[in-house]
Amino acid sequence: MDKTRDYTAISDSAIALMLLRAQTKIPYAYEAATHFLSSGKVEASFDKKDFGAWASVVHFEHRYATINQLVADSKMDNLLELSSGLTFRGHALLQQGLVRHCIDTDLPQVIQAKEKLANELGIALPEGRKLQMLPLNVMDRAQFNHTVANFGDGPLLIVNEGLLVYLSRTEIEQLCQTIHDVLKVRGGYWITSDIYIKHDFVQGATRQTKEWDAFFQKQGASNFSFADFQEAQDFFEANGFKLDRVAAPAYETLSATPSLLAVANEQQLNALRSGGQVQATWRLSCK
């Protein structure tokens, strides 16, 4: 683990993502945003007539949805979510009956705030379902294994959304080794939405995209994407994984898609269509 890097800085993205997700029907996204900020501030943070703003919302809602698609397809009881931020995916999956035991993890200050919010919102879980919210630095191998030990027997789904883009290649390799060692023993899958191809934003120079560019530059996130999907597949295979399944496109199912189409002009839509795929959600298994 890099002892000099401030991993707590990454959680700044949780607030920005929370504001974007508040424009969707992702479970508890709006409630979370209006808890930490007033409803007025949530509305003021987003320009509902801005194509770039809605393109960003669609991107992140699609990322969320494709992970859930692969979770549902996997049909496993145990799920560990890494660096979950201020989303309540685990609660929703338990309520939907897609998993039975979920451990939701992030850095301590995020988990503390999230646990308090879950209690204040009164989020209920069905009988026989179990949720744990635990602090975890994913680069701490011992802490990672200690967290996994909370699960009973059986295969494990490990899920992450928006984590790998903040790590260096060396850090991703270290995380690959940790996850591979866990899944080799237990069985299961690693589902990640963080398969990004180097690209230029097509949203345009909007306020939201400028803010994201500034944040990504601060974190160096753009340095950690792949040249193409083959390079990404080669990378994971070199680290002991094989590509088991690619999530299918789900744009027609998203709550934000109609809003994007309503504000987009023909040139903007053509730019989206011709831009090519820049992100994928993969399910990986051990070789």
Is residue 221 within 8 A of residue 166, CB to CB? The reply is yes
Residue 244 is assigned to a structural domain of this protein: yes
Residue 2 is assigned to a structural domain of this protein: no
pLDDT tens for residues 77-119?
A: 999 999 999 999 999 999 999 999 999 999 999 899 899 999 9
pLDDT tens for residues 266-277?
A: 999 888 888 889
Residue 65 is assigned to a structural domain of this protein: yes
pLDDT score, position 220: 53
Residue 19 is assigned to a structural domain of this protein: yes
Closest among 265, 267, 248, 266 to 68, alpha carbons compared: 248
Q: Which domain holds residue 158?
A: 8-270+279-286
Beta strand 241-246 with 279-286 is: antiparallel
Q: Which two tokens stand for residue 61?
A: 């809602």
Residue 91 is assigned to a structural domain of this protein: yes
pLDDT score, position 9: 45
Judge if pTM exceeds 0.85: yes
| 3-class SS string, the chain | CCCCCCHHHHHHHHHHHHHHHCCCCCCCHHHHHHHHCCHHHHHHCCCCCCHHHHHHHHHHHHHHHHHHHHHHHHCCCEEEEECCCCCCHHHHHHHCCCCCEEEEEECHHHHHHHHHHHHHHCCCCCCCCEEEEEECCCCCHHHHHHHHCCCCCCCEEEEECCCHHHCCHHHHHHHHHHHHHHHHHHCEEEEEEEEEECCCCCCCCCHHHHHHHHHHHHHCHHHHCECCHHHHHHHHHHCCEEEEEECCCCHHHCCCHHHHHHHCCHHHHHHHHHCCCCEEEEEEEEC
Per residue of the chain (287 residues), give pLDDT as tens. 444 455 554 456 677 888 899 999 999 999 999 988 888 989 998 999 999 899 999 999 999 999 999 999 999 999 999 999 999 999 999 999 999 999 999 999 989 989 999 999 999 999 999 999 999 999 999 999 999 999 999 999 999 999 998 898 999 999 999 999 999 999 999 999 999 998 765 545 455 556 555 555 555 555 568 999 999 999 999 999 999 999 999 999 999 999 999 999 999 988 888 888 999 999 999 99
Residue 243 is assigned to a structural domain of this protein: yes
Residue 1 is assigned to a structural domain of this protein: no
| 3-class SS string, 50-74 | CHHHHHHHHHHHHHHHHHHHHHHHH
pLDDT score, position 145: 98
Q: How far apart are CA 231 and CA 225, in angstroms?
A: 10
Residue 195 is assigned to a structural domain of this protein: yes
Q: How many domains does the chain have?
A: 1
From residue 166, how far is each of 90, 150, 173, 243 by CA, in Å? 22, 27, 13, 22
CATH of the domain at 53: 3.40.50.150
Phi, psi of 4, deg, nearest 5: -95, -15
